[in-house]
Amino acid sequence: MADYKNFTVETDADGIALITWNMPDRSMNVFTEQVMDELEAIIDRVAGDEAIKGAVITSGKETFSGGADLTMLQKILGQFHAEKDRDRDKAIKQLFDNAGRMSWLWRKLETSGKPWVSAINGTCMGGAFELSLACHGRVAADTDKVKMALPEVKVGIFPGAGGTQRVPRLANPQEALQMLTTGQTLGPKKAKAMGLVHQIVAPRKLVDAAKKMIKDGLKPVQQWDEKGFKLPGGPVYSAAGANLWPPAIAILRRETYGNYPAATAILKCVYEGLLVPFDTALTIEQRYFTEIMQSREAAAMIRSLFVSLQELNKGARRPKDVPAKKLKKVGVLGAGFMGAGIAYVTAKAGIPVVLIDRDQASADKGKAHSAALMDKLIKKGRATEAEKEKLLSLITATPDYALLEGANLVIEAVFEDSAIKKEATEKAEAVLKSSAIFASNTSTIPITSLAKSSKRPRNFIGIHFFSPVDRMMLVEIIMGKKTGDKALALAMDYVRAIRKTPIVVNDTRGFYVNRCVLRYMQEAYSMLIEGVPAPMIENAAKMAGMPVGPLALTDETAIDLAQKIMKQTIRDLGEKAVDPRHMALIDAMVGKHGRHGRKNGKGFYDYPEKPAKKHLWPGLNDLYPQQAPEKIDVEELKSRFLATIALEAARVMEEGIVTDPREADVGSILAFGFAPYTGGTLSYIDGMGAEAFVDLAKGLQKKYGKQFKPPRLLLEMVEKGETFYTRFAPDGAGEMKKAA
């Protein structure tokens, strides 16, 4: 057979072709134009060679495939935008043809007249799972490494290579819709229960089992291509359909508030596709996919949640001329909730940790946090006792600073008190080598001021985690005025080692994330004071795309903490730095009503004992005269939330606190869930255009105050017709610049 760059093809004595996908220049197989071309040639060869009785496709890597290389989609979108102004009809036709390439190739495979079996040995995502669904047989290895999903909706698109048509023809329609609209990940057992996989076998038997399916007479015809095929859940127009579709539409609306066009398109594809023959259904899917590819949401989400996220995870901001260093040992000072969480994620990455607290009992309590987290994973079947013991063996809990000797990174996570942090810094530096890096996990105190306690400020940096550490994927790396490149490089290497996403932020009060979050909360305080009913405030925020309402978020972080931050801000910056109305509201909540947030069961919400659910405190209605709900513009409330956060992100860029728009966007989504469909804070502005955003901000400023005043940077961008991704184009991100 012909030689291929990305595949090997071996035909055995039984006439079964084993096609092994193993891209030489990638750690994971992905679909590129070359891969598609080679696969088409292989499909033609299998179909046209009488000696071949059937084909098995598997991977030569630990994973099967991550699906399509979304930079290929970005390129297709770039071509569309370049062409559309010259000839829109031609551009759309070209986009339509490109959108259907994979779909019709899989259709060619399943109607080739030869049986195909997919032998799924590891992660199988997106287009790769759609390829597997087009195969006549599917065998999955019985291992936790096998994860199957059609996750495209999470990056603003949907499974456009037959996924919306094959899944509901194989699985119960309710489960099919849930999987498609949420991007749900399936293990082998769940996939088999849904009818998406035929067999589960031991990994070593995977290829043999796949070949046996063909030898046992696997039909080279899909069930939907056979006469008399019946849908698993019955016809769309039936009693079962009447019970499915109206609630499905309502649930999607409740979950997305109409912010995700791709999720809505999935429902349309499935509904319309199940009414017509399969080839017509694929054309319907292709049309919707072409439409969604043109949406602002798809462009923004692909850029931020795939391309930029990957680039940041690969160390896009790491100093290139500093050699990588292996982390031999990491010290964590402070075994409270944050310190214990940092120790856990460090040990989980296989790095030895010394966890220090004031006495042995406190240090042991911090280590017990890791044991509890592992117990939860064991209970869910996601870890073993042996893995728990191995992780705990990497954590040394102690009050003895001498055990830090040999650590090349120490992370301080003691109380937010400069004096306590100074003492911890001095004790650690007395033991550490001069080349070791010292990091503070402070969330409020500027790194430059903390570095004054250090004898080597070039090696002093901020590594700011978010709570809970084990679940939050973002880490802010804070540069003090004297922080050097070696400190930045090691901090980046550490954050990547623990599999979190780093963003680099220059030193300022609140850094980047907290500055934006505080604006979000403060706007809610203003709304309460104006008499906007609390339920409208929370619901408007969720309708705008925020995962948690601002009042609920204040409760989670603690109202008395908000009070402390306000008072400290006044001490540092003067009375005018805090809105006196906000101070009075928070003082009343804490001092007069004793409401500190979730931690004491009383905040903006009441937290009754389970199984009762939390609910907004009725006393909020009595704090300020209430407006009539019907006179309040909900769209304006939504705009206020998104605009106040985005304006703060623009100020941060203007001040040079964040210098890369990728970090501002990705950081805002990962840290506090800023409306993912927008692509992040700066993409939200770019998406509507600087001029339209400035007009919006000025209108809100006139009605609601100076927090909506556009910074000079935005006014300049309007004059020059710039976007954030053109003005601050990241290094080596030419494609990003073009797409913006």
Which residue numbers are catalytic? Answer: 464
Strands 474-479, 501-506: pairing kind: parallel
Q: Could you give phi then psi for residue 731, rounded to 5 degrees?
A: -60, 135
Burial of residue 231, with CB atoms counted within 10 A of its CB: 0-12 exposed, 13-18 middle, 19 or more buried? middle
Strands annotated E in 179-315: 199-201
Q: Could you give phi then psi for residue 494, rounded to 5 degrees?
A: -65, -50
| Complete DSSP assignment for 352-405 | -EEEE-SSHHHHHHHHHHHHHHHHHHHHTTS--HHHHHHHHHTEEEES-GGGGT
Which pair of structure tokens corresponds to residue 340?
């214990």
- What is the distance between the alpha carbons of residues 467 and 209, in angstroms, rounded to a whole number? 45
Which pair of structure tokens corresponds to residue 583?
């101070």
Q: Which amino acid is residue 171, in one-letter code? A: A
Give the residue among 523, 517, 525, 536 at the shortest CA–CA distance from 589: 525
- What is the distance between the alpha carbons of residues 19 and 2, in angstroms, rounded to a whole number? 12
Q: 469-490: b or e for each residue (b if 16 or more CB lie within 10 Å)?
A: bbebebbbbbbbebbbebbbbb
Q: Could you give phi then psi for residue 10, rounded to 5 degrees?
A: -125, 125
At 705, is the secondary structure helix, strand, or coil?
coil
Q: List CB contacts of 428: < 8 A, sequence separation 6 or more.
A: 331, 333, 401, 404, 410, 412, 438
Cα–Cα distances in angstroms (integers) from residue 664 to residues 318, 493, 613, 721, in the given order: 16, 20, 34, 20
Which pair of structure tokens corresponds to residue 313?
């995870």
Burial of residue 632, with CB atoms counted within 10 A of its CB: 0-12 exposed, 13-18 middle, 19 or more buried? middle
- What is the distance between the alpha carbons of residues 269 and 287, in angstroms, rounded to a whole number? 9
Give the residue among 237, 265, 269, 234 at the shortest CA–CA distance from 252: 265
Helices then strands, counting H and E runs in the chain, come out as: 32, 18
- What is the distance between the alpha carbons of residues 314 and 292, in angstroms, rounded to a whole number? 28
Instruction: Please report how the helices 681-688 and 690-704 are oriented relative to each other, as an axis angle in degrees rounded to 10.
Output: 110
Which pair of structure tokens corresponds to residue 235?
């016809």
- What is the distance between the alpha carbons of residues 649 and 689, in angstroms, rounded to a whole number? 15
Task: Kindly report the length of the chain.
Answer: 740
- The answer to whether the CB of 4 falls within 8 A of the CB of 41 is yes
Q: ∠95-23-493 over CA atoms, to 5°?
A: 95
At 88, is the secondary structure helix, strand, or coil?
helix
Give the residue among 65, 68, 210, 217 at the shortest CA–CA distance from 140: 210
